Structure formats: C-alpha cells, structure tokens
Structure 1
C-alpha cells in the first residue's frame, strides 16, 4: 500500500460576498480533486487543538499524527532541524521574518503591511540577513538565512519567557500593541529596531522600491521554541518515506520524524513555485521504494495572507492540475493499492489575512474502496454535510494509516 498526503496550506476559507456567498473551493475548477471526492470519502477535521494557536507548525504536526499538546516545543526549532542547526537543550530559537513596515515617526508608530516583504527572493533575503548578522551577532546570538522571508535566530543558553506575536496575525495594524512582551522583551525589541535602521536604506531595498516591490525593511521576531523530539514515523505507522515542501518548517518535521526531506529546485512556497517538480519528485520517490510521501503546498496560504482572492483561487486550480492529477496518475501506474488524503492544515480566509482554528475539509481516496457519488464535491459545506468528522488531526492520521 502506498500513502500520499497532499497538504494544501490555508486552502479552506469563508463564504465571500463577491463570489456570491461561495468560497474559493466552491468556485475553483478542480476536476482531479472532484474525481477523488466523488470516488472516495469527504468530511471535516479539527486540526488545531483547543487553546492552541492556529499555526502551520501545530496543524501539520497534528495531520502527521503527532499530538501538538505533547510534541510542540515551538515553531522555530522545527525549522532549525531542516536547516541543520544543532540545538542543545538550553538553546532558544526564534523565527525571524523580513517584513514591510510603513509610516513616519518612531518604530512603535509604524504599521505592518506585509509579513513576507513581497515574497522577497531567497537570494535578496540572504544578503539582508548576512548584513544584520555582521553587526548584530554576538557570541550567543546567531543568525541563519532561510528561504524567502523566513529566517532563524539562535540564542545559545538563552532565556525562555516571551510573549511574541506572529506578523501575519496583525497585518494592516499599528505594531505598538503587538511588540515583544515579557521579562526579556527589551533585547528582542532592540534587535527589531536596529534592523529597521540597518535595512530601510539598504541597496537591496532601494532596488526593490524602484521596481515597485515591498522593501524588507525590518526583522520581526516570533515563534520562539526549544529543542523538540518526535517519535519515529515508521515506528508509528509502519511506513517510511519523504516530505516535499519549500519551507523549512515542514522539512524540519520530516527530519525529526525520520522521513527524507526532498528539496525541489524552484520550490518557493508561492503561486510561482515549481508545482510540476514537486509532483514529479513525489512520483519518483514512490517508484523508488517510498511507501509514503507528504507533499506540502504553501501557495493558497500566502495568497490568503496577502488578501489575494484571485490568486488563491488560481493557486488551488494549479495544484489540482499540476500536483493532484499527475500524482494520481503516477500512483495508478504503479499497479498497487494506494490511499490519498487531501486537506488544508487550517483556514486562511482572504478577508482576515490570517489563520483560524475552524475545522477544515478533507477528501480521502482508497483505490480498494471506490464508491461513486456523482454529486459529491470537495467544499467546506459538502464536507460538513457528509457527517464524517474527526476531532483531531491525529485521529484522521490514524484512520488514514489504518492504525
């Protein structure tokens, strides 16, 4: 039996007036996913446990069968695992976004307008992070460039008592109420303030501004955490395999779970990512002996954060055409039983531009259990009306792998 999970980050949404009170999933042209829904099972799953933040770290741990209430130690240490950064038990890590701030006056008076600095390229971002590191690094605080706007700060033997806010939760808002809190807030805030002074007139940003692009004019520090440990995925479910994603978070979960992270050239985490390459890599991994592949696709989430409705719909359609259809075709060509699970990790409503904890729809196709339901669709309403419901991502993962 082969198993594939296609995680479409932030795909689910709310009904939108301009779409005739429909959701992006309602209006998207997704024939491949529709075929799986008509031949399989649809339902709803609550991927975010009560009282936990609706982040991709918590949701993806849940969908992969790891109870976040037990295994979650913060977002950034999962990313550190992907980046090959060795942590001790006393180290503290932080996610360091490159963001766009606007407004005159002191730092505290500014507004955050873009959590990703216009999806800044990895090459440009590396220059900026290395510029910050050259002046701000100490013996204890180190900077590690990542992918696009997503980077890492490591504080050796650092304190661990903060109240830090994800930048995508406060888009369009004045930053003052959302700046770091806690006993060590002044150290983190000082880094953020200095980063603005260092980056606002940097040549990389001046060039971006001249092209009409958002500048990466500040670091935003959040997602603190300590060294995590995950049980072996193969021990849990009896299958080994790979993870495919543009982002360090998902690759890091894979590394810690004992799965092989496959890096695809041109994978960016945006609507301009190499969808074809991800699908090809998944099919090749299954051909070459993997029993399981986890394919993570970030584009709908990024469009949701940007408030880009048309982009979100288009990204869902591209995933259907360039990932779901070829992966399904590749699995059929292997001529052995297989199961496919497709779902978002959380909702990223275009109207809110951030994540929510609402249950999300799933579709599960089993090549051994095909039962046609011609009117069944993969939408939030249809999945809710099916009557199938899992109260956690872990419960759905156990069901998917027949544990």
Structure 2
C-alpha cells in the first residue's frame, strides 16, 4: 500500500455573504476532492487539542501523527531544524517575521511576501547590527526567518503571532512578561536598522511594502520526537515550501524533499511537488504534500485569491495524485484535508474541526458524502476524530 496525505493549509472557512452564504470549499470548483469524498469515506477532525493556540505548527504536527500534548515545544524550533540550525539545550528559537509597520500598526505580516533574496540581505544586516553572543539571526524563506536566543533567554516571554494582529496597534502586543522588554527593544531597534536600508528604499520606489521591522514569536526549545517509522512502521517524505513542515519532517526522521520554485504562495511550483511525490513513492511508503497558498490568502482576507488557491490545489495537486493512484500497480490511499480553518472574516486561524476524506483504490466502500466541504463531511461515516490518530487509522486499515 502507498499513501499520500494532501494538506491544503487553511482551506476551511466560514460561510461568506459575498458567496451566497457558501464557504470557500463549497463555492470553489473542486472535482478531484469531491470525487475522493464521494468514493471514499469522510469525517471531520480536531487538529487543535484543548489548551493549544490554533497554529499551523500544532495542526500539522497532529496531521503527521504526533500528539502536540506529547511532542510540542514551540513553532520556531521546528523551523530551526529545517534550516539546519542545531539548538543547544538552553537555546530558545524564535520565529522572526519581516513585517511592514505603518503608523504604529502592523500593515502587512509578510512585508508584501518579500522575496527570499531581498530578505536574506536584510536578515544578514540585522545579524551584523543586532546580533550578539546571546542573539543570532538566520535567513529563511520569504518573510519567515529565525532568531535564536541563548541561556534560556525568552523561554517564558509572551509573544503574539503577527498575522493575528494585522491592522492593530502594536503597543499592547509587543513581547511581554519575563524578558519581554529585551525583545521589545530588539523589535524597535530593527526598525531603525531597516527603515532606510537600500532594499527597502527600492521596494518603496517600486510601490511595494517595505520590510521595516521584525516581529518575534513562536519560541521554544528543541523537541524530542519518536521516529515516524518506529511509530507507524512506514517510511515517508515531506514536501512543503515552509520550514515549519520541513522541521517536523526532520525531527520525525522523514525525508524532506526540496522542490525548486516552491514558494509558500499562489505562485508555488505545484507540478514540481507532484512530480517529487511520485518519485518519492517509488522508494517510500507515504508522502505528505503541503500547500500553503490557501492559508496565505485567508490571512490577506482575499476571497478571490483563496478561491484560486483552493482550485489550484484541487486541479494541480489532488487531481494528478488521484490519477497516479488509480493507475498505480499497488493499492493506494489518499487523505485530503486542511490543517485548520483560516476564515476570510477573521484573517487568522481558528480551532474549529476540519473536514477530511479518505479514498482507497482497493476498497469501493463509500458513505453518503458527495462533496468535500465543511458541512457535507458531517454526514460521513468516520465522524469526529482526533487528528493525531488519522495516520494510525490509515496504516492500520484493512
């Protein structure tokens, strides 16, 4: 048996008045996902355990089969693993976004989806200007970067994700609690370094949002994972544009496959991801394909972009993987799902359960679900499940 887990980050949503009361999944054209729902079994899953913030780290850790209550230590350490940054026991890794601040408010949590090339220059400048024996900056992808503090500095600091406060005054959301003043000062110092940086002056000249500040959050120490193969008896690979997913893969002992042109946005290399997955399945049992674009569109509050992202996910990821499964010489199982909702109306993640559907080429049993969306899957025979149990359900199913 071969397995493909296809994750459309943030696809789930609430009913939208401009779409006639439909959700994005209900309004989008998604024949491949609808086929999987109609010819397989469906349900809805709780990806965010009680007491956890509805972040992509927690949600995707659950989907990859790791209970956050057991394994979670923070988002940034996962991204550090993907970036090849080894953390000492007393190192605290922070996610370090490049953001646009205007009139004391976060105008853009992604600094206009700044290019990785531009961002690398800015982060290296910050490391040269603000880095110390206690603090280092590491460049990542687009607006997503890493800051590492040493000697447990910041381990108990309270931070807020920037995508949760877009449009809001930053004053009351700056890092707080123990060591909060230290990190608030670093944010303010970054504004001075970045304001007149040539990269930003050029972006302003081109009508783009400048990356005129950092924002730190998601901190934690390095976690300890039980290898995926030891837990589930299967080999696997992860394909994603974002360091978070790659980092979970690293800690889980999964192969992390780099795809040229994978951006984490609407312009990502969909075909490259599919080709890499099919190639990986020649030697691996299971592959996770993660697409970030629907989540980014949700954070932007763009109905049109989110519809496009979901339809692209369906036609350019789900459809070709489904075709491959149906023509494979081996039995094949496909799981489709978002990691969490990112509703247009709130522009951030919520804890609502998410829809999922499972299709097996060697099992023609199906339930009454005809389309893949938030409401239809509630009729599914699999009911409400704990997301971290889904991988076990897949590999143990007969």
Q: TM-score, normalised by structure 1?
A: 0.96
2:167 — aligned with what?
172
Secondary structure, counterpart of 2:124 in structure 1: helix
Secondary structure, counterpart of 2:396 in structure 1: coil
2:375 — aligned with what?
381
What is the alpha-carbon distance in structure 2 between the residues aligned to residue 181 and residue 356 of structure 1? 23
1:232 — aligned with what?
227
Residue 332 of structure 1: how far off its partner (Å): 2.9
Question: CA 1:372 to 1:309, structure 2 compared with 1: closer, same or farther past 3 Å?
Answer: same
Structure 2, unaligned stretches of length 5 or more? Answer: none
Secondary structure, counterpart of 2:157 in structure 1: coil
The superposition leaves residues 342-374 of structure 1 with CA deviations (integer Å, 9 ceiling, x where unpaired) of 101100001111000000000110111124668
Residue 395 of structure 1: how far off its partner (Å): 2.0
Equivalent residue for 2:127, pick from 133, 137, 156: 133
The superposition leaves residues 41-87 of structure 1 with CA deviations (integer Å, 9 ceiling, x where unpaired) of 11110100011100000011111111101100000000011111111
Structure 1 runs, 4 residues or longer, greater than 3 Å off: 371-375
1:153 — aligned with what?
147
Q: TM-score, normalised by structure 2?
A: 0.97
1:328 — aligned with what?
322
Contact 2:116 2:141 (8 Å CA) reproduced:
yes
RMSD after superposition: 1.3
What is the alpha-carbon distance in structure 2 between the residues aligned to residue 381 and residue 68 of structure 1? 26
Equivalent residue for 1:241, pick from 236, 240, 252: 236
Question: CA 1:51 to 1:18, structure 2 compared with 1: closer, same or farther past 3 Å?
Answer: same
Query: Is 1:86 matched with 2:86?
Result: yes
Contact 1:283 1:331 (8 Å CA) reproduced:
no
**Which deviates further from its counterpart, 328-337 or 182-191?**
328-337
Residue 385 of structure 1: how far off its partner (Å): 3.0
Secondary structure, counterpart of 1:173 in structure 2: coil
Structure 1, unaligned stretches of length 5 or more? Answer: 104-109
Query: Is 1:276 matched with 2:284?
Result: no
What is the alpha-carbon distance in structure 1 between the residues aligned to residue 365 and residue 152 of structure 2? 55
1:48 — aligned with what?
48
Equivalent residue for 2:208, pick from 207, 213, 217: 213
Residue 389 of structure 1: how far off its partner (Å): 2.4
Contact 1:34 1:377 (8 Å CA) reproduced:
yes
Query: Is 1:185 matched with 2:180?
Result: yes
Contact 2:334 2:358 (8 Å CA) reproduced:
yes
Residue 34 of structure 1: how far off its partner (Å): 1.2
Query: Is 1:292 matched with 2:286?
Result: yes
1:124 — aligned with what?
118
1:39 — aligned with what?
39
Secondary structure, counterpart of 2:5 in structure 1: strand
What is the alpha-carbon distance in structure 2 between the residues aligned to residue 156 and residue 332 of structure 1? 51
Contact 1:38 1:371 (8 Å CA) reproduced:
no
What is the alpha-carbon distance in structure 2 between the residues aligned to residue 65 and residue 373 of structure 1? 25
What is the alpha-carbon distance in structure 2 between the residues aligned to residue 191 and residue 260 of structure 1? 35
Task: Write the mapping of 1:349-368 to structure 2, written as runs, cut at 5 A.
Answer: 349-368=343-362
